[in-house]
Amino acid sequence: MNVKKRSSILVSGSKLSVCPGVISSLKIIEAENITKTFNGFTAVDGVSFYINRGEIFGFLGPNGAGKTTTINMLTGLAHITGGRVKLLGEDYTCNVKKAQALMGIVPDESNLYEELDGWENLCFCGSLYGMDKKRREERAEELLAQFGLSEAAKRPFKAYSKGMKRKLAIAAGLIHQPEILFLDEPTTGIDVAFARQIRSLIVDLHSRGTTIFLTTHYIEEAERLCERLAFIVQGKIVREGTVEEMMKEIQGENIVNFTLGKDFTSEGDFTKIEEEFRSRFPDFNLKMGKNSSVSIHSPATFNLFPFIQFFEVRGLPVFEAKIKRPSLEEVFVKVTGIELQKMQGEQNQKGKKGRKGGG
């Protein structure tokens, strides 16, 4: 692989402007039928996808779906059992070291050095990629400013907050100006304010032409940030495409959320109401939502009054009725059959455990 030649073109700062038509259509990463088995257990099962230059590609799936294993295989932290991976068109399945110079990797948990300060951590990471002293120091300064960490540059990494640690980890992944940045769950386990900052950083990096492979379990995050997505469940990609392509699957469905004045005391109560609903409105679907809410799904627009009346006569006053715009969440639930709340709950538990373990 002519890594030097290629990176010199790309690192020169004219990533998309040299020959936009050609360069932007280049596939940075191509995974072909990659498989990973651990002692007979198949963690990733014949997964294929590609990532175009300059795009944010989202990898979405529940805990244990195979997201991190896939990243580990692509970046060299796990051997590939079957299939092959290409970077800029060249196979690196058997020689990942060749490709690592062009990758920036930000794991789900911080892996920087607690005893070093922010500045030293960035310079050390730069040196691992063979950057000379002057270049890595300039780059560290630039990144600290870009990530709003200049004031904390000389503070030990262990004194950083969780959000600052995550930001520095992203900066460390970018120190050598990689072709592609792997972000594994970048906003998991950090507070809302830092998560927002990190999302805007991702948008900013994207606007500068950085190619990003993002794994997340936050569907809204994926919908907002990614151009193309893949859903992975139990080691298999169940759907892949652009956000628009995926949304087409549920277009035409009308959803109205009703907030009721009373909770269903048991699932049996809901089943009873659902049965009555089905016999009264056979063309509509009723689904149970959070707390005291339900949603009605229909292929056509509909008058709300008969439904309000239906609930009222059963002692369920309607406090609010809201039209729900279709979102990627519906596509995910439809395709995978996995309830989002359950998936995010599991991930949050994982984040908390990680924090305890790390602390």
Partner 1 sequence: MKTWIAFSSILMKDMRSYYLKPPNISWGLIFPIAWTLMFFLRSPVAVEVRDLLPGVMALSILFGTTSMLAVTITFERKSRSFERLLLAPISLNLLMLAKTSGAIMFGVINAFVPVVFASFLTDLSGINWLVVIGSVLLIAITSTFLGLFIAVSVSQVFEAQTFSNFFRFPMLFLCGLFIPLTDLPVYIRPLSYVLPLTYGADLLRLAVNQNGTLPLYLSFTALLFFSIFLFAYSIYNVNRKWIL
Point out which residues bind partner 1 (CB under 8 A): 38, 72, 75-79, 97-101, 103, 105, 107, 109-116, 124-125, 127-132, 172
Q: How many CA atoms lie within 13 A of 325 on its CB side?
A: 2
CB of 99 to partner 1, least distance (A): 8
How far apart (Å, rounded) are the C-alpha atoms in residues 272 and 294? 14
CB of 106 to partner 1, least distance (A): 10
Nearer to partner 1 by Cβ, of 186 and 229: the residue is 186
Q: Encoding tokens for residue 77?
A: 């932290």
Nearer to partner 1 by Cβ, of 101 and 308: the residue is 101
CB of 143 to partner 1, least distance (A): 16
Neighbours of 206 (CB within 10 A): 19
Beta-strand pair 41-52/27-38: antiparallel
How far apart (Å, rounded) are the C-alpha atoms in residues 51 and 53? 7
CB contact at 8 A, 202 and 214: yes
Nearer to partner 1 by Cβ, of 99 and 190: the residue is 99
CA-based Rg of the chain, rounded to a whole angstrom?
Answer: 24
Nearer to partner 1 by Cβ, of 35 and 298: the residue is 35
- Burial profile 53-84: b = 16 or more Cβ within 10 angstroms, e = fewer: bbbbbbbbbbbebbbbbbbbbbbbebebeebe
Burial class (CB within 10 angstroms; exposed 0-12, middle 13-18, buried 19+) of 314: middle
Q: Provide the β-strand partners of residue 52.
A: 27
Nearer to partner 1 by Cβ, of 113 and 302: the residue is 113
Beta-strand pair 318-324/103-106: unpaired
**Residue 57 to residues 93, 184, 228, 302, 333: CA-CA distances in angstroms?**
21, 12, 5, 37, 20
CB of 46 to partner 1, least distance (A): 18
How far apart (Å, rounded) are the C-alpha atoms in residues 28 and 26? 6
How far apart (Å, rounded) are the C-alpha atoms in residues 128 and 95? 18
Nearer to partner 1 by Cβ, of 75 and 210: the residue is 75
CB of 68 to partner 1, least distance (A): 11
CB of 78 to partner 1, least distance (A): 4
CB of 207 to partner 1, least distance (A): 26
Nearer to partner 1 by Cβ, of 68 and 336: the residue is 68
CB of 115 to partner 1, least distance (A): 5
Nearer to partner 1 by Cβ, of 36 and 239: the residue is 36
Burial class (CB within 10 angstroms; exposed 0-12, middle 13-18, buried 19+) of 111: exposed
Nearer to partner 1 by Cβ, of 75 and 187: the residue is 75
CB of 137 to partner 1, least distance (A): 13
